[in-house]
Amino acid sequence: MEIHWFGSQQPVARAGVARFVASHIPGCERGFGDNCVAMGIIETGAEPKLIAGVVYHNYCPESGVIELSAASTSKRWLSRPVLKAMFSYPFDQAGCQMAVLRVSERNPIMVSIALRYGFKSYLIPRLRGRDEAEHILTLTDDDWRANRFNQEKD
């Protein structure tokens, strides 16, 4: 697997990753707009293909907060190097102090993964509509730096 980054200098590729992510998240049909950065995870081989993407959006430099949205077609994508790259962007490059995920109450697997990674969860009733709550999951830079997944292996 290879990690590729797409920003304003690669608008077509960035839009492709953003469309991929949005197409796998119910209620995300409007996408992320043009003011985002995308990370694509490419499965290498005879026919390389996009198997996962992360879109960084709703960046607020004044408060140092950015939102991440991610989707994949393979469970193998969320490796230690991918996690390190995924959170290195907001915390090391963009200088954020907090990353935010929004996850449907109907996606307990993603909520569980985020909690194991160190996110804190706040469940907001009806945030996804009359009949669906949403978890607002937050990860601070301090919690990320102290995270066991972020530590070098001996």
- Domains of the chain (ranges plus CATH)? 2-150 (3.40.630.30)
Q: What is the reported pLDDT for 122?
A: 98
Backbone angles phi, psi at 114, to 5 degrees: -65, -40
Check pLDDT > 80 for residue 153: no
Q: What is the reported pLDDT for 75?
A: 85
Task: Give the E-state strand segments of 44-144 in sequence order.
Answer: 49-60, 65-72, 98-104, 120-124, 134-140
Rounded Cα distance, 136 and 121, in Å: 6
* Other C-beta atoms lying within 10 Å of the C-beta of residue 87: 23
Alpha helices, DSSP H, located in 3-140: 11-23, 80-88, 108-117
Listing from the earlier edge strand, what are the strands of the sheet with 49-60? 2-6, 37-43, 49-60, 65-72, 98-104, 134-140, 120-124
Q: What is the reported pLDDT for 50?
A: 95
This prediction has a pTM of 0.92
Check pLDDT > 60 for residue 154: no
Q: What is the reported pLDDT for 149?
A: 75
- pLDDT digit string (tens) for 88-129? 999 999 999 999 999 999 999 989 989 988 999 999 999 999
Q: What is the CA radius of gyration of the chain?
A: 15
